Structure 1
Amino acid sequence: MRRFSLQTLALIVALVAVAIGWWVDSSREPQIYYLHYYSNRYRPSHDLYHPDYDAPLPNSINTRLATIAISPNIPFRAEFPNGYDPTITISGTLTRSGQLFSGTVLIDVQDPGAAIEFDHATPIPIDTLVPFFDSSHHLAVSRNPDPYSLKYDVGQLN
C-alpha cells in the first residue's frame, strides 16, 4: 500500500509541476522585436511618419519602407504590394544570441527604377542599422516599433 501512495504522490507532484510550468510559460510576455527596412533611395515624403516628412531636402536620407513584428526562432513573411513604389517581400527566420540576431532574411524589392533580390545572412546587432546590397538599403532589429527612434540617417546615396 505504501508503494502505491508514493507513486500517486510522485504523479501528483509531476502534474502540479507541469501545470505550473505551463502557466508560467503561457503568462509570460512573448519576445517581440521589430524588423525595420530602410532605404536612402526614397525621400522622407515616402513615409508619412518620417520626422522630415515635410522638409524640402535636396538629397535622400534613410526612409523606412517596411516594419514587421518578429519573434526569435519563428519564421516570418510579409508582403507589401505598394503598387511597385516599391513592392517588397521580406521573409526569413532569425535567432537571438545576446545582442545579435543571426539567420537569413530574404528581401525582394521591385521598383520601376530598380529591382533587388538579396539574402542577408550577416549578424544584425540590436538597435543598429546594418547596410546591405549597395549600402543604400539597411536593416535593423529593435524592441521599439518606431523606426525613427534609431539613428536612421547613416549617409546619403552618392
Structure 2
Amino acid sequence: MRYRIVSTSERPDLAVTTATWRWSGFFRERGVPVEEVIRYERDHLAAGSPMLRTLVLLADGEPVGMVSLLSNDLEGRPDLGPWLGDLFVEARFRGRGHALRLIAGLEASARADGVERLWLYTEDAAGLYRKAGWSEAETAVSGGKPVRVLYRDLKREGS
C-alpha cells in the first residue's frame, strides 16, 4: 500500500470529504448541520489560514483520514497552542496505524513551520497519543466533560 499525506490547500477537492468527516466525528452530536461545517471548511480553505491546516492521508490514492492544525481548540486555554485537532480515520480504515501516520504527518508539518510544541485534548484517546510520544499536562473540562490535555515537544535535540 502506498501512503501519501496532502493538505486540503493542495487538494481543495477533498474539502467536502474532510468537512463531512469533521461533522461526523465532532459536530453531529452537537446538532450542527453538515452544510454549516462544509461552508466553514471551504471558507477557511479559501482564506488560506495557516493555522487551520488540514492534512489528509491517502492510501493508494483513496482518502482514509484527516488531522488539523488549529490555533485554538480548547475554550478557556488561549495561552496554549497551536493544537492538533480533529483527528479522524474513516471507520472502515481503522486499526491499521493510520492515526499514527496522521499524527506524525502533522508533527512534521508543524516542525517545518518552526512550531516547537503542539497541544491537544481528548476524552478517551490519551493512550493513542502517549503511544505517539505525547505527554499528559493536565485535566480540563470541555463541553461539560473531563478531558486530558497533552503536549508534544517538536524541537529537535541540539537545536
Structure (1 or 2) with the larger CA radius of gyration: 1
Structure richer in strand, relative to its length: 1
Structure richer in helix, relative to its length: 2
TM-score band w.r.t. shorter chain: under 0.3
Higher relative contact order (CA 8 A, sep 6+): 1
TM-score (norm 1): 0.25
